[in-house]
Structure 1
Amino acid sequence: MDDRQLQQWVEHISLTSFGRPFLHKARFNRRLTSTGGRYFTKSHDIEISWAQLEQFGPEDVEKIIKHELCHYHLHLLNRGYLHRDADFKTLLRQVGGTRFCRSLPTAKRKEPYRYKLICSSCKTEYLRKRKLDPKKYACGKCRGKLKLHELDSKQNS
Structure 2
Amino acid sequence: MTDPGSLAGQAGQLVEQASFLSDRARRRLEALRSTRESALASTGEASTPDGSVRATVDAGGMLTALVLTPAALQQNPRRLAAAVLQVAQQAASSARAGVRQAYTRLENEGLVKHMPLLLPEVSVAPPAPAPAPVRRRPVEEDEEFGGPVMKDQGW
Query: Quick check: which one's strand share is greater?
Result: 1
Q: Please state which band the TM-score falls in when normalised by the shorter chain.
A: under 0.3
Report the structure number with the largest CA radius of gyration: 2
TM-score using structure 2 length: 0.26
TM normalised by structure 1 equals 0.26
Of Structure 1 and Structure 2, the greater helix share is in 2
